[in-house]
Amino acid sequence: MAEYETILVEQRGRVGWITLNRPQALNALNSQLASELAAAASAFDDDEGVGAIVLTGSERAFAAGADIKEMADKSAHEMSMQNPFAGLETFSRLRTPVVAAVAGYALGGGCELAMMCDVILAADTAVFGQPEINLGVIPGLGGTQRLPRAIGVYKAAELVLTGRTMDAAEAERAGLVSRVVPAAELLDEAGRVAEVIASKSLPVVYAAKDALRAAQQTTLAEGLRLESRVFASLFALDDQKEGMAAFREKRAPEFRHR
Ligand code: CO8
């Protein structure tokens, strides 16, 4: 496995684990971290032996945002010509599902990174927000687009315009997180969710993720067309035959992932 300086990477069974590891900066996202995250996640994405990815940080912070110290003195020209976070675009386009396990701060780019994942499990210590307005900027990694889709336009507007943060319970009520768990159980629970996903048929999981993503990006009519096309195409897979045969034979399916 490649050597990285800002993340820890490990494979356990069919689950790839990526841990953000810049403790001195509360896992602030700098350009090196963005490109290492993209490289590690892409390597898992290319590996048929990996059926799900867990992305996590530390107990204190999932990620406290983009690295303010790295960005502060850049010009508008530099920010638009040399996007330091280009790697995060790659991350947001993975076909493998990603479970974000969020403890502590998920602010700014950290909240936006969590929203690029498919499932967000939050520890009861998690704090979410888009405080960029306090720095004289706005969210730049999807916060003004994904947050309103996740929690509604008015709640998102309040958070983005005031910079107020939400605790885990409020984030769960608002629909930003899949589930809140006690902090001590966060990683075990994230591992369990990822293992369940990784036990399913990989191409079917890719198809489900694709269709779910379409719900955020297209019209209802286009999304429904895509869903029904994909649904029909899955009948070409061995795993669909196996899944339905197993149901009829009252046994657990043995997916061969193709
Ligand atoms: N960037 C750089 N360093 C950071 C960041 C950050 N985002 N957050 C924390 N750190 C550093 C601190 O500077 C400090 O380092 P040092 O000890 O060397 O001074 C260390 O981490 C510990 O932080 P604190 O001492 O501040 O810890 P506290 O527990 O007192 O406070 C907070 C924790 C509340 C999380 C506080 O650190 C904070 O407010 N951080 C900034 C949060 C923030 O504003 N995030 C948004 C950043 S902007 C952004 O994400 C935009 C993304 C879009 C970019 C798109 C480009 C195309």
Q: What pLDDT digit, counting tens, does each position of 6-48 carry?
A: 999 999 999 999 999 999 999 999 999 999 999 999 999 999 9
Question: For the whole prediction, is pTM greater than 0.95?
Answer: yes
Q: What is the DSSP letter of 95?
A: S
Specify whether 132 is catalytic. Answer: yes
3-state DSSP assignment of residue 149: helix
Q: Tell me the CB-side half-sphere exposure of residue 86, using CA atoms within 13 A.
A: 6
Which atom in ligand 1 lies closest to the alpha carbon of residue 134?
44
Q: Are 28 and 68 in contact (CB under 8 A)?
A: yes
Pair type for strands 98-102 and 52-56: parallel
Decide whether any atom of ligand 1 lies within 6 Å of the 69 Cβ.
yes
Whole-angstrom distance, CA of residue 116 vs CA of residue 111: 9
Q: Of residues 40, 63, 64, 66, which has the active-site annotation?
A: 66
- Tell me the three state secondary structure of residue 97: coil
pLDDT, residue 69, reads: 97
Only one residue has tokens 């629909």, namely 175
Catalytic residue from among 25, 52, 112, 123: 112
pLDDT at residue 258, rounded to an integer: 58
Q: Which residues of the chain fall below pLDDT 50?
A: none
Tokens 């900066």 belong to which residue?
Answer: 25
Calpha distance 56→50 (Å, rounded): 17
